[in-house]
Structure 1
Amino acid sequence: MGGPVGDAAVRHALLRWIVLASAVILWQVIAHVHGSVYFPPPAEIARHAVDLWFSGPVRHVFLTEEAVGNILPSLGRMAAGFAIAAVAGIALGVAIGRSRRVYALCDPVLQFARAVPPPALVPVLVVILDFGTPMQIASIVFSAVWPVLINTAEGARDTDPLRIEVAAVLRLTPLERLRFLILPSALPRIFAGLRLSLSLSLILMVFSELLPGTANGIGFTLTDAQSRSDLLTVWSALLLLGALGHLLNTGLLAVEKRLVGRGRTTTA
């Protein structure tokens, strides 16, 4: 059904698309007028991206061999790193956040570990795991786990004490308290951490594929195209990364709205 809220949402969505279209048109005009090989028009970039990755046969969902060999491995590494970080972050966050003493003891360590730039750990990870997929996934996990862990711990800490007392009176088991009380209360903060973690996973996925020893992936495509001065492929990879980031964030936001509620969604 329509209404003021629905109409406002439609107008907001329409305004966002108008702004995006205006930016693309402006880029197209400036690139055409300037004629620089370093800044090709977006229409040319999009055409090259489709030919490079999405002009395959129907039985392969229009994916070319280039897409199967580079996009899918990247998404697999990112998904694995993000999933491990999400599970570990939520589990550890709940365990730490439910005890004020444990939280006070662990907070300095968490803040220190979060402040360490993940690229700075690459030499250590290379020594331990060598170049390859395990090292790449480990670098994603180390970067992505902290937003989930810290936000989950904060959300678990903020559980209403009165509700905890009621749960004690009702003699709920620890598992029932976790399922019906702690997790629902912490869910908005958990999703705030997950959205930050998803962005970091995408960034670290690309960074890990820029390192020596990488044989495929979107990051590898970037460095390979740069070495060949193939600027259209470089811009196409950047366009692909932006589109992937937007699609993944939109999907996670849809899940958040379904589980948390439209009025309580976060804006991380």
Structure 2
Amino acid sequence: MTVIEDAPAPGAGRRASGAKGFGRTLLRVLGLPVLLIAGWWVFSVWSESFYVPTPPRIAQAFAETWFSRRLFDDALPSVARLLAGYALATVLGVGLGVPIGLSVRLRAAAEPVLEFFRAIPPPVLVPLIMLLAGIDNGMKILVIVSGCVWPILLNTVEGVRALDEMLSDTCRVYGVRGWSRLRHLVLRGASPQIMAGLRQALSIGIILMVISEMFASSSGLGFTIVLFQRGFAIPEMWSGILLLGLLGFGLSMLFRMLERRVLSWHWSHRA
């Protein structure tokens, strides 16, 4: 007597492969963070140091510190200053980089000055900016601008310089001038380099946001972390560092989504 086995349900193979793919993706995303937390946990228990709290203690301090009034008094104003400085640096960097990249004479005249100011570390300018702009929000925004503008500006210049000459000649032949040429040829052709500069400027902006709040400030993430350190509130200090890491990660993910949308034509062309 022949026994006929039941055939697998339609779509069962696809569901199984989908579950395996999701498991691999989850392992790839969470594997290293879990290992790092486990390593920190073992190290903190083994060392028994006051300055190395365990992950549960840091998590407790994170919930008590940042799920409270400090979120609105310190964290959100810091993010607002970061975004304001980043936006202003973007406008300045792209607005100056496009004409410099298009003009050979202007580029030759501006390049030594740009390289000189780019070589100056932005934290060195903090005391000078404090003298010129005071110690209010304007100073903190200018500190962020002073560091973020250079990668955006220089990458914009290089992106404009690298435009395809054949496309430029084609636009000239067909009479594409003015705003249409700037939008469809210059900005679109230089956008991969511009986005690379924006990505570099984002990480620099987070660093300068913290540095600007460590000088003559009474609020912000940088001020709060230093305040915890001076008061020996070590778990709270680590919770502020953790919040900065999460902030950088979240902004990086948002920027990656924006980059994929803006450069969708670029990635499809490369594929």
Which of 182, 191, 196 is residue 187 of structure 1 equivalent to?
A: 191
Quote the residue 2:236 is aligned against.
Answer: 233
Compute the displacement of 1:239 (Å).
0.6
SS in 2 for 1:211: coil
Q: CA RMSD in A?
A: 2.2
SS in 2 for 1:216: coil
| Structure 1 unaligned regions, length at least 5 | 55-63
Quote the residue 1:88 is aligned against.
Answer: 92
Residue identity matched to 1:228: G
Which of 145, 150, 164 is residue 154 of structure 2 equivalent to?
A: 150
After superposition, residues 25-64 of structure 1 pair within 5 angstroms as: 25-54=38-67, 64=68
Distance 2:71 2:195 in 1: 30
Compute the displacement of 1:42 (Å).
2.0
- In our comparison, the structure showing a higher alpha carbon Rg is 2
> Any idea what the Cα deviations from partners look like across 1:141-197, whole Å, max 9, x if unmatched?
011000000001110111100000000011012211111111111111111111111
- Bigger CA drift: 139-148 or 22-31? 22-31
> Any idea what the Cα deviations from partners look like across 1:41-81, whole Å, max 9, x if unmatched?
12321221112112xxxxxxxxx211100001111111110
Do the aligned partners of 1:27 and 1:42 also contact (CA within 8 Å) in 2? yes
Residue identity matched to 2:42: V
Do the aligned partners of 1:98 and 1:157 also contact (CA within 8 Å) in 2? yes
Residue identity matched to 1:182: V
Quote the residue 1:217 is aligned against.
Answer: 220
After superposition, residues 71-110 of structure 1 pair within 5 angstroms as: 71-110=75-114
SS in 2 for 1:182: helix
Do the aligned partners of 1:100 and 1:157 also contact (CA within 8 Å) in 2? no
Identical residues among aligned pairs (%): 37
> Does residue 1:137 correspond to 2:145, yes or no?
no
Distance 1:208 1:13 in 2: 37
Compute the displacement of 1:13 (Å).
6.1
The alpha-carbon distance between structure 1 residues 28 and 240, as it changes in their structure 2 partners (threshold 3 A), is same
Compute the displacement of 1:263 (Å).
6.5
TM-score by length of 2: 0.87
Distance 2:91 2:183 in 1: 15
Distance 2:65 2:127 in 1: 33
Quote the residue 1:261 is aligned against.
Answer: 264
